[in-house]
Amino acid sequence: MEQVRGILRDLLRRALSEHARNVPALADITIEPAAGRLEPRLWVHFTNGYRAWAPVRAQDFYAFCERYLAWDLPSLRHALLQESHEIYARMCAEHWAELARVRERRGMAAALLDRFRRRADGRGRVFARRPSAELDPPPLGDAPPRRQETQRRLLEWWTQQRHEYARNAFYGQGLTAEVGSKRAQERGIQLLKEHLAPVQRQQYEKHGYFDVVGGKTGKRYRIRHGRQMNIEQLDRNGRRVCGWCFYPQGNLVAGDVMLAQKLAIELFEADALRIANRF
Amino acid sequence: MATQIVMDRTGDTRHEFDVADSNAVALAEERFRQLTGKGFRAVALGRDGKPGNLINKFDPNVEQTLFIPQLQGG
């Protein structure tokens, strides 16, 4: 019973994580029978067309069928749909509550920052643009020094976070920034482009990513410009299935990392995925 | 001329050698042995972005050999 609920929760969580703000409604559940060496699949369909699947085993469903007295496919489907609606409703409620908490936290932080700015502007200073070390000591008779120090540290931290976010957004690669000299980066990109197929090169120049087909499984992967957490596995429709993270040791430049990732997927996919972390 | 390309922090380092020069070939073979011993993977690069081949044994006739450092999960 718990195994079936676990499978359903995983599938529903995928929909929530991929559609953070526009959460789709659950539309249907289907069971795809086993075909050849492929196990049966449980598909979950959503109103916006998104669908997700997971392989299932008959033994996982025994307790579930017993609980719902569902011994044929239509009644099992009905029972699964009923169970999914309940789980999804709970998950959506938690999801919205979490989003509201995040919004509230952001709002509080922004309000606090505005308050600091207003106070600083009131004293005739351009607070945010000056390095914190240059700030004058607070005038006597104002708030206690300890409180001032906490506020100063908080503002410093906030500024640092903002810069970090801006840098990551600029490079467009999440957690990683470029390493190496400009010359090294250019050499890396040149080496990469020399060994990309014309279609991949065109794709990389236009979109900042290129697609690679796994040499062993034939699965499609998308390598985005970056050094870490930049590989996505795609399904037949080009939708993201999951992310993979692996890279060569030695703090290499982005071009080298992407070329190594491409060759690894093409030539020793199984080894690379064994080392990689899935996200 | 054959080329061995080693990925490193400068982008890459290229070692060219003449396949007719036995000393240069011996040096290239020694480099191949050392790098693969350290965990680098040697790839005989294909043309026009084709995948190429993973090679475990030194072959002086391979036009371009790329050495990829050991992979790690992130």
Q: What is the pLDDT of residues A175-202, one digit of tens each?
A: 445 677 888 888 999 999 989 999 999 9
Which two structure tokens, joined as six digits, stand for A37? 């060496």
Residues in B touching A201 (Cβ below 8 Å): 49
Phi first, then psi: give them for residue A179, nearest 5 degrees: -125, 170
Selected for mutation to probe chain A from B3, B12, B50, B55 (highest A CB count within 10 Å) is B12
pLDDT of residue B6 exceeding 90, the answer is yes
Largest interatomic CA distance in chain A: 81
Tokens of A178: 């470029």
CA distance readout (Å), A60 to A40, A53, A89, A212, B42:
12, 16, 23, 35, 45
* pTM for this model (two decimals): 0.52
Out of B7, B46, B51, closest to residue A252 by CB: B7
For chain B, the average pLDDT equals 90
| ipTM reported for the complex, 2 dp | 0.94
Domain ranges of chain B: 2-68
**Separation between Cα atoms, residue B74 and residue B72, nearest integer Å:** 6
**pLDDT over 90 (residue A223):** yes
Tell me which residue has tokens 């250019």.
Answer: A186
- Which of A198, A215, A245 minimises the CB distance to B48? A198
The domain limits of chain A are 2-98, 107-171, 182-278
- What is the least distance, in Å, from the CA of A54 to any CA of chain B? 25
Nearest to A272 by CA among B46, B48, B74, B4: B74
What pLDDT, on a 0 to 100 scale, did the predictor assign at position A175? 45
